[in-house]
């Protein structure tokens, strides 16, 4: 399953892509070798794609600016993030008040809502990193005990930083679920709704879309369950999660996204040969 050729003959043609950001395109401030060129290839050939990310420390605006600094020429409409998806979900459920448990400028995605600690309808939980303290966690606990519902932007176990693996939002959500005995609504990957809405933006059938990611649970298993194809890359945190891998017929593994152009070309050749 490591050759990038798993069951090519049996798969529907790939006509669009969902691409994770952290661990796939870059690790913190360093672009992964060949990633800029891979995105440039997709743009040159007008291949539809969205950058679908569980990142909760940055708004789409900051993500775009950071990507552009690293050489990725992408626009805001090409980024589909968990915080953005959460804001859309809250609007669709006519929520008025929230309490944000996030870091950075993620709040920019939630300007349509009243951010308060006075009986909010929802506690919106993301990765707050180094800002996590007992007092903050206890405040979040009390909000839920007093009636706020929990909305988890994502539930990743960990993420890859330049210094190594780091604990992610999933651990915070798990702690609050355990303490409050209440379940959080999940918005980001691997929620089926996240993939469904992202695919809808591409205006393609799910079977013709592939998710590229380094997180086996959120990116690979999640997308396959949602009816997509999946391409795992051996960068980011991929090699640190071998115990949870299970085989999926719709999955291939590439060394990195730098191999994507060659993989797409090989798929096209197989299709032409089979005509």
Dump pLDDT digits (tens) for 83-101: 999 999 999 999 999 999 9
Closest CA to 11 of 224, 261, 259, 246: 224
Domains 8-54+190-273 and 93-186 share a fold: yes
188 vs 29, which has greater pLDDT? 188
Question: Given a cut of 70, is residue 8 above it in pLDDT?
Answer: no
Domain residue ranges in the chain: 8-54+190-273, 93-186
Mean pLDDT of the chain: 90
Q: Give CA angle at 218 (212, 219), nearest 5°.
A: 10
Measure the CA dihedral 20/98/114/138, to 10°: -110
Q: What percent of the chain has pLDDT over 90?
A: 74
223, 211 in Cβ contact below 8 A?
Answer: yes
Question: Given a cut of 80, is residue 273 above it in pLDDT?
Answer: no
Half-sphere exposure of 115 (CA within 13 A, CB side): 13
pLDDT tens for each residue of 133-167 = 999 999 999 999 999 999 999 988 877 777 788 88
- The region of weakest confidence among 115-124, 131-140, 161-170, 215-224 is 161-170
| DSSP, res 217 | I
50, 78 in Cβ contact below 8 A?
Answer: yes
Class of domain 8-54+190-273: alpha beta
Which residues 6+ apart lie within 8 Å of 250 measured at CB?
7, 11, 224, 228, 229, 230
Question: Given a cut of 80, is residue 243 above it in pLDDT?
Answer: no
The CATH number for 93-186, chosen from 1.10.1060.10, 3.40.50.970, 3.40.50.1000, 3.30.950.10, is 3.40.50.1000
173, 150 in Cβ contact below 8 A?
Answer: yes
Structure tokens given for 238: 């991929």
């Amino acid at each position: 399953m490591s050759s990038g050729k798993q069951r090519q003959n049996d798969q529907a043609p790939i006509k669009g892509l969902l691409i994770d950001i952290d661990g796939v395109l870059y690790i913190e401030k360093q672009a992964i070798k060949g990633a800029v060129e891979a995105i440039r290839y997709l743009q040159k050939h007008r291949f539809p794609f969205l950058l679908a990310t569980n990142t909760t420390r940055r708004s789409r605006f900051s993500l775009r600016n950071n990507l552009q600094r690293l050489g990725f020429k992408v626009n805001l409409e090409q980024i589909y993030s968990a915080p953005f998806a959460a804001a859309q979900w809250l609007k669709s459920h006519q929520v008025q008040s929230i309490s944000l448990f996030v870091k950075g400028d993620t709040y920019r995605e939630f300007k349509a809502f009243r951010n308060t600690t006075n009986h909010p309808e929802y506690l919106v939980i993301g990765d707050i990193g180094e800002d996590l303290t007992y007092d903050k966690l206890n405040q979040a606990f009390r909000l839920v005990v007093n009636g706020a519902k929990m909305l988890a932007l994502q539930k990743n176990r960990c993420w890859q930083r330049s210094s190594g693996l780091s604990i992610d939002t999933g651990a915070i959500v798990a702690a609050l679920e355990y303490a409050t005995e209440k379940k959080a609504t999940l918005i980001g990957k691997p929620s089926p709704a996240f993939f469904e809405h992202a695919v809808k933006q591409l205006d393609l059938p799910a079977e013709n879309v592939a998710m590229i990611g380094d997180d086996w649970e959120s990116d690979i298993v999640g997308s396959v369950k949602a009816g997509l194809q999946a391409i795992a890359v051996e960068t980011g945190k991929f090699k640190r999660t071998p115990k949870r891998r299970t085989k999926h017929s719709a999955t291939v593994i590439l060394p990195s996204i730098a191999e994507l152009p060659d993989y797409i070309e090989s798929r096209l050749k197989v299709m032409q040969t089979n005509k």
